[in-house]
Amino acid sequence: MKKKSLIKRAFEAPAILLEKTVDEAEKLEHEVEDKMGGAKKYWKILGPGLTTGAADDDPSGITIYSQTGAQYGFQLAWLALFTFPLMSVVQEMCARIGLATGRGLAGNIRTSYPRWILYTSAFLLFCANTLNLGANLGAMAQATELIFPSFKFGPLVILFTGASLLLQIFTPYEKYAKYLKWLALVLLSYVFSALSVNLNWGELLKSTLIPSMDFTKEQIFLVCGILGTTISPYLFFWQTSQEVEEEILGGQTTVKLRKTNCNEAQISEMRIDVWSGMLLSNVVMFFIIAANGAALHANGITNINSAAEAALALQPIAGDQASLLFALGIIGTGLLSVPILAGSASYAISESFAWKSGLYRKLKDAHAFYGVIIISMLIGLAINFIGFDPITALIYSGVGNGLIAPIILSMIVLISSNKKLMGKHVNGKTTKFFGWFITSIMFIVGAATILSLLS
């Protein structure tokens, strides 16, 4: 009897083993599906916050971060950690304004504060953005020349300008938003570029966690430039208006409907989106500083005048792979940031004058809105053919941003702290404190930038 039982078990063992294996495989499959489902859900949540954060690392910003690494090595890497919560708080306030009021930032300022403040800010924003996108178009063309030497600068600038305009004007917003979202992933090329360089991680982490400054005029100016390009007015207007565009895409076509639709779940998802986007932005800033500090500063190259020059300088030291990834990143971030620079200026001006606005509208329904985008792009294009130095364009752009950033930030804190406008989504005490703290920092930064240029 015992013998029969043993024989039976011997025959049953493979079947039992197979059954357990199938069960384990199915369990593993469900776990993978759950994880993939979580990843899909997370990707779906990402939107305006991700693209806004990615646009912050435009070719102009890349130039400043590259110069920081080349001139000072890892010393100022701590700024990537320092600016992360600051820009996240600001962009979260902007996003919450869009969701809770159902209007863009300029629309809210127009209905609550003196018009002259808005008109002046919108005009300065248009000028600063146009100079910035002109410099970015030139940087994209230069980066393309590095990869394809036979291509000429002039036709490339015209090509990038035309392609960007066509996408903004004739691509349906739903597709356009997805294009911007996927394009944000181009930023990872800077991470890979830095990882292909021999980094001293001990020194890099020390510089990141322990702030250090020499307080020289050059270093103060560079720090002001970094703060000015990370906490920048065009991002405020873009973030707020994109939250509204997303709501319209979801069927909330009136201000009243958008305000009613705003709930805690939506605010929670917005926070995930915004903080994820700002994290990506600052991680990329960190790795750009690190790559240039390790490859250029360590080899005596301490001056970079453009993002394309940084890519070229990396080639003989860090190799073709690092240089190629850096150049591809310039082109990708340029394609992302140029329409955001033009679009944010158009949102500001169109909402200031209560014109029909929004990328969800067709050209025939929003002539003025698209007209501002076209004019801004054409002036940016012309800058590259009239001998206007791109670094000079960035300096003037920085001055314009330095003038308006504290004013716009004050409006953002006041609006997001106004219970009548925001309802239950009004700022808490902590957010309000940090809002005014950031505004104070940007006032000092703006004043320091202007004074350093005048002295």
pLDDT for 18 equals 45
CB 344 within 8 Å of CB 238: yes
pLDDT for 5 equals 56
Encode the chain (455 residues) as per-residue pLDDT tens digits.
455 555 555 445 544 544 554 455 456 545 544 555 678 889 889 999 999 999 989 888 888 898 899 999 999 999 999 999 999 999 999 999 999 999 999 999 998 888 888 998 899 899 989 999 998 999 899 999 999 999 999 999 999 999 999 989 998 888 888 888 888 888 888 888 888 888 899 999 999 999 999 888 788 878 888 888 889 999 999 999 999 999 998 888 888 888 888 889 999 999 999 999 999 999 999 999 999 999 899 889 888 888 788 888 888 877 788 888 888 888 989 899 999 999 999 999 999 999 999 999 999 999 999 999 999 999 999 999 988 777 677 767 776 777 788 989 999 999 999 999 999 999 999 999 999 999 999 888 878 777 766 76
Query: Which residues neighbour 271 within 8 Å (Cβ) at sequence distance 6 or greater?
Result: 92
CB 306 within 8 Å of CB 30: no
Token pair of 346, please?
A: 């158009």
User: Quick one: which of 244, 280, 272 has its CA closest to 84?
Assistant: 280
Q: What is the pTM assigned to this prediction?
A: 0.87
Total residues found in the chain within this entry: 455
Q: With the C-alpha atoms ordered 279, 293, 215, 452, is the resulting torsion angle positive or negative?
A: negative
pLDDT for 24 equals 57
pLDDT for 145 equals 93
Token pair of 342, please?
A: 């033009």
pLDDT for 278 equals 96
Query: Which residues neighbour 264 within 8 Å (Cβ) at sequence distance 6 or greater?
Result: none
3-state DSSP assignment of residue 203: helix
Query: Which residues neighbour 186 within 8 Å (Cβ) at sequence distance 6 or greater?
Result: 54, 328, 329, 332, 333, 336
Q: Measured between alpha carbons, how far is 391 from 386 in angstroms, rounded to an integer?
A: 14
pLDDT for 20 equals 54
pLDDT for 444 equals 86
Q: Measured between alpha carbons, how far is 309 from 293 in angstroms, rounded to an integer?
A: 15
Q: Measured between alpha carbons, how far is 157 from 139 in angstroms, rounded to an integer?
A: 9
CA of 343: how far to CAs of 108, 347, 372, 377, 440, in Å?
A: 18, 6, 8, 10, 27
List, as one string, the DSSP characters of 57-78: T-HHHHHHHHHHHHHHTTTTTH
> Within a 10 A sphere around the Cβ of 260, how many other Cβ atoms?
11
**Helical ranges in 231-366 per DSSP H:** 233-249, 255-261, 264-295, 307-318, 320-352
Which amino acid belongs to residue 349?
I
User: Quick one: which of 322, 364, 378, 350 has its CA closest to 133?
Assistant: 378
Q: Which CATH architecture has domain 49-454?
A: Up-down Bundle (1.20)
